[in-house]
């Protein structure tokens, strides 16, 4: 009898030790997960940018923590598939979700506000004072901060120095100006050179007007998630400004991004106002090396208007799974909130201008780019980050984009007045979200 008791006690001890060494993982829905020891999963899209950067982060962490058992399974899908799987997992009680997922800033509220219990707040993990304030604002809900601020859509005016010079303007003449001054310069540029001042997608103006309204410190919703369309002075001025630019003929309208890229590379536009990732498009035409520069984007006349804004951008979010939290936290904190070498490498390799402010002192920021006449382009983008006004993107960015773009299109065609346009946008948005 005594022998059987010893055998049973021994078996229990063996099982306990085995469980402690490799605990069974359980997802937020209570479903057992087959993940291996200290293995975390990451969902993201874009092999050349987000996936490549996460691989660099993992390699860098293993370099810094050689004694830590750390494995990452990175699953690359299209952005649409990532969102479909995320929505399905959240709606089914948190089942079959990854440990870390990439989410666009515009989509934060769509997922986190509706399913906040499945996301792990990082207030006690990261020092958010070291990140761009507008990125931190995006991921804050009820005092909790849920993500790791990642890449930015910091904006600039990319312009042809040689064309502006031919029209009689210096680089300083086009820096820190209003849209009204930009229009005046654009008329002269076309008169003297035959080149349109700037370019935009004439079928989908959403990127253009999103940059403008955020530069004025406004959005479709206020800080309390109240819709602000008909009573939005910044949005009104944005509509009126785009119409003035269009009516004056200083904007070259294109149908899609491929036409826009072609216009930049064949010299039929003197500038483009867009995010930092437009650098790669501009540099696609080697014969134009030395002719381009970057400067601040124009501002609205609104009292809150500044010469800085954002379009797009995304961040990493931790799912409230039964993963090894200390390990995940240390990985994110060590690399994304503390490693200048990592940020320097992804800036050089992927052109990633990120939200961690101390990265601005990295060596890649002090190097001049011959394509831009020796200008320190990366440093320029970094210096714009703290100037971007924080706004509340709210839960319905795609719906608002569609409603506002449709109303703006009809206003630009002269079919409706500005009051009718704003009213139409608000009514359509209300119908979509009810």
Q: What is the pLDDT of residues 163-201, one digit of tens each?
A: 999 999 999 999 999 999 999 999 999 999 999 999 999
Q: Which two tokens stand for residue 253?
A: 């309208």
Contact assessment for residue 308 and residue 388, using Cβ atoms and an 8 Å cutoff: yes
Q: What is the pLDDT of residues 124-144, one digit of tens each?
A: 999 999 999 989 988 999 999
Q: How far apart are CA 296 and CA 381, in angstroms?
A: 9
What three-state secondary structure class fits 314? strand
pLDDT category, 322, cuts 50, 70, 90? low
Contact assessment for residue 183 and residue 367, using Cβ atoms and an 8 Å cutoff: no
pLDDT category, 12, cuts 50, 70, 90? very low
- What number is the average pLDDT over the span 408-433? 96
Q: Which two tokens stand for residue 148?
A: 């790791």
Q: Which two tokens stand for residue 230?
A: 């008909």
Q: How far apart are CA 398 and CA 206, in angstroms?
A: 10
Q: Which two tokens stand for residue 204?
A: 């989908």
Distance (Å) of CA 12 to CA 2, 3, 9, 32: 16, 15, 5, 21
| Four-way CATH pick for 39-152+313-361: 3.90.1150.10, 3.40.190.10, 3.30.70.260, 3.40.50.920 | 3.40.190.10
297 DSSP assignment: P
Ranking 7-16, 79-88, 239-248, 405-414 by mean pLDDT, the lowest is 7-16
The pLDDT, as a whole number, for residue 323 is 72
Angle formed by the axes of helices 397-412 and 206-215, nearest 10°: 100
The pLDDT, as a whole number, for residue 24 is 40
CATH level 3 topology of 154-311+389-433: D-Maltodextrin-Binding Protein; domain 2 (3.40.190)
Helical ranges in 113-219 per DSSP H:
133-138, 161-166, 179-193, 206-215
- Residue 32 bridge partners (DSSP): 26
The pLDDT, as a whole number, for residue 349 is 86
Contact assessment for residue 139 and residue 339, using Cβ atoms and an 8 Å cutoff: no
Which residue is associated with the tokens 């630009």? Answer: 412
- What number is the average pLDDT over the span 87-113? 92
Distance (Å) of CA 222 to CA 160, 214, 217, 232, 302: 37, 12, 10, 10, 17
Which residues have C-beta within 8 Å of that of residue 64, sequence separation ≥ 6? Answer: 334, 335, 339
In the chain, where are the structural domains located? 39-152+313-361, 154-311+389-433
Q: What percent of the chain has pLDDT over 90?
A: 73
Q: Which residues of 114-123 are buried (b: 16+ CB within 10 A; e: fewer)?
A: ebeebbbbbe
* 39-152+313-361 matches 154-311+389-433 in fold: yes
Q: What is the pLDDT of residues 348-396, one digit of tens each?
A: 888 888 999 998 888 888 899 999 999 999 999 999 988 999 998 988 9
The pLDDT, as a whole number, for residue 37 is 60
Q: Which two tokens stand for residue 425?
A: 């946008």
Q: How far apart are CA 338 and CA 196, in angstroms?
A: 44
């Amino acid at each position: 009898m005594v022998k059987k008791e010893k055998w049973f006690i021994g078996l229990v001890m063996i099982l306990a030790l085995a469980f402690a060494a490799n605990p069974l993982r359980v997802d937020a829905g209570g479903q057992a997960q087959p993940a291996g020891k200290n293995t975390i999963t990451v969902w993201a899209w874009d092999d050349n940018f987000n996936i490549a950067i996460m691989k660099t982060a993992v390699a860098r962490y293993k370099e810094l923590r050689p004694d830590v058992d750390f494995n990452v399974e990175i699953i690359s899908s299209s952005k649409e598939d990532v969102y479909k799987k995320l929505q399905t997992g959240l709606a089914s009680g948190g089942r079959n979700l990854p440990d870390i997922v990439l989410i666009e800033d515009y989509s934060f509220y769509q997922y986190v506000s509706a399913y906040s219990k499945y996301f792990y707040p990082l207030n006690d993990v990261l020092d958010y004072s070291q990140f761009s304030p507008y990125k931190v604002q995006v991921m804050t809900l009820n005092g909790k901060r849920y993500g790791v601020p990642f890449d930015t859509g910091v904006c600039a005016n990319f312009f042809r120095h040689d064309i502006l010079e031919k029209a009689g303007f210096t680089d300083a003449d086009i820096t820190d100006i209003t849209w009204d001054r930009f229009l005046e310069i654009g008329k002269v540029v076309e008169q003297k050179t035959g080149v349109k001042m700037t370019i935009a997608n004439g079928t989908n103006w959403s990127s253009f007007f999103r940059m403008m309204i955020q530069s004025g410190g406004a959005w479709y919703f206020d800080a309390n998630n109240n819709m602000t369309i008909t009573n939005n002075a910044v949005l009104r001025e944005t509509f009126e400004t785009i119409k003035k630019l269009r009516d004056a003929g200083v904007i070259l309208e294109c149908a899609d991004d491929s036409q826009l890229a072609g216009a930049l590379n064949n010299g039929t536009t003197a500038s483009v106002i867009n995010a930092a990732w437009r650098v790669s498009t501009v540099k696609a035409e080697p014969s134009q090396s030395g002719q381009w520069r970057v400067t601040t984007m124009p501002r609205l006349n609104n009292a809150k208007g500044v010469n800085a804004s954002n379009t797009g951008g995304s961040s990493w979010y931790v799912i409230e799974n039964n993963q090894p939290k200390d390990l995940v936290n240390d990985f994110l904190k060590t690399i994304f909130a503390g490693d200048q070498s990592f940020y320097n490498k992804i800036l050089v390799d992927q052109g990633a201008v990120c939200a961690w402010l101390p990265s601005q002192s990295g060596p890649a920021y002090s190097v001049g780019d011959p394509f831009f006449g020796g200008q320190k382009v990366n440093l320029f983008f970094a210096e714009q980050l703290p100037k971007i006004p924080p706004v509340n993107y709210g839960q319905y960015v795609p719906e608002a984009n569609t409603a506002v773009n449709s109303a703006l299109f009809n206003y630009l065609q002269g079919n409706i007045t500005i009051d009718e346009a704003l009213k139409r946008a608000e009514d359509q948005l209300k119908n979509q979200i009810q």
